[in-house]
Structure 1
């Protein structure tokens, strides 16, 4: 099924390209948050098991994909800007659930700390609260290549590290996509890396304790960059969280092979469709009216 597409205004003046995949039988809507420099196409595998159950909303950040022509790119977006955009989209589409991937976890957690009234559950995939040695090495190399605008080296770095377990077809697509980005997109990626390295933590743990809804953290068994062990450190800060490790899988999870896709389907749907506990009902703020597109 083809999505309904629209350009919507979020966070005062940003123009955001959106895709709405309707499910006639669905009672819930899930909003998906991309990783750094990715577009809606990155969730092509994920939609296959979410859309039969939920309405699904995808979007391109203002600097990327089909949002790019509709915005000026005078300066990179801050994580706080991305969180405000996300909060506006939650209200605009009446989203009940949230799913983020990789860097998208940074703005997703920041948005969730503001307790958006509609969101009942969220899934944070391929993201951790600390930078380990492999991730620090990846970021330092990336910062150097981005500073010198070494397009092919940037793409190769992603494929050799985070994307090492991707099928060859996906690696070729990555190479073309990443090496062909606009200059402002490399500036944006450079800004993401600078944010991560100063201070050297992916997120500020002080606001995580404000998130009262259930969270599921999903990581790949073989992902040395955002590892399952590091993800479990979230339990020290997030009041209500669960963890799922996909076997024989790296950073890109359901994109890597059929077994990973099936595991992701089981983990995500199992979490989202589980009945809330009495405690979760007690802590849920009352939903507010919102406009659906």
Structure 2
């Protein structure tokens, strides 16, 4: 097939938004990938080669992660990040999407579906964050200290990238130099830690149960039974509260589903899309 790849940054909502686009020669379905906290489009590197055989694929680095901007004037709230992605999709001339979000990207995907139900045809949630409250007032207060960003840098670097990957992956043999380098690279400049400081202040709590129950969009939830970051019981609760959802659970699988089980994820996505078309 004659796939075409494009990538770059677009100024959207006052910030540079990095994206990768894989154009399918004939598919009418467009899938938008939203990564998780402390991640980037890199986390979908094993899933994109499968998805692009059946979909037009956009993979977005949401601010301040990956290659997107880290402006100290941008508001890093779920609402604003979701609105930025909505603006981008419309700028690209797309009026219908399937959206896939991993971890925090799942919460952003739910925000997009809540805000723009006519835009989102289907939602795929991979170990999505849910039911988290806003940061404590004490943490928000100390975030205004001039060098607080250095504390974030120390805290994130304390255990190291390899140990952090061990926490999110069930099968540690998957962790290699390429993976470690891919997740480390975006955090080698101080700008990211200053932006993360702003995210602590701006991030609202996750969507309430009342709001979740109004999302009628078909949702596929995929979870790792051994997820230590967003435990399975969160997914089961989310499945009960979303009116039109189903859940798939992978055994011996952790949090980083796009890296751990790309082929299985792809098969379930394809089945879900074809069932609900």
TM-score (norm 2): 0.80
CA distance in 1, matches of 2:164, 2:128: 16
1:153 aligns with 2:158: yes
Q: SS of the residue aligned with 1:88?
A: helix
Distance 1:113 1:246, change over 3 A: same
CA contact (8 A) 2:21 2:59 kept: yes
In 2, distance between residues paired with 1:267 and 1:118? 22
CA distance, structure 1, for counterparts of residue 190 and residue 75 of structure 2: 11
Aligned residue for 2:214? 210
What is the correspondence of 1:1-293 to structure 2 with a 5 Å cutoff? 3-11=5-13, 13-68=14-69, 72-74=71-73, 77-93=76-92, 94=94, 95-130=96-131, 147=151, 149-150=153-154, 152-153=157-158, 155-156=160-161, 158-163=164-169, 165-166=171-172, 167-169=174-176, 172-173=180-181, 176-177=184-185, 180-190=187-197, 192=199, 202-256=206-260, 260-276=261-277
Q: How far 1:194 moved relative to its partner? A: 6.3
SS at match of 2:45: helix
Distance 1:99 1:148, change over 3 A: closer
Number of residue equivalences: 257
- Cα distance change, pair 217–189 in 1 and its aligned pair in 2 (3 A): farther
Secondary structure at 1:106 match in 2: helix
Alpha-carbon offset, residue 229 of structure 1: 2.5
Can you give the 5+ residue segments of structure 2 that lack an aligned partner in the other structure? 133-142
Q: TM-score, normalising length from structure 1? A: 0.76
Unaligned 5+ runs, structure 1:
132-142, 277-293
Give RMSD over aligned pairs: 3.0
**C-alpha separation between the residues in 2 aligned to 1:22 and 1:148?**
38
Please give the alpha-carbon distance, in whole angstroms, between the structure 2 residues aligned to 1:193 and 1:154: 20
Residue aligned with 2:32, SS: strand
Once superposed, which parts of structure 1, at least 4 consecutive aligned residues long, lie more than 6 Å away?
A: 143-146
- For residues 264 and 164 of structure 2, the distance between their equivalents in structure 1, rounded to whole angstroms, comes to 24
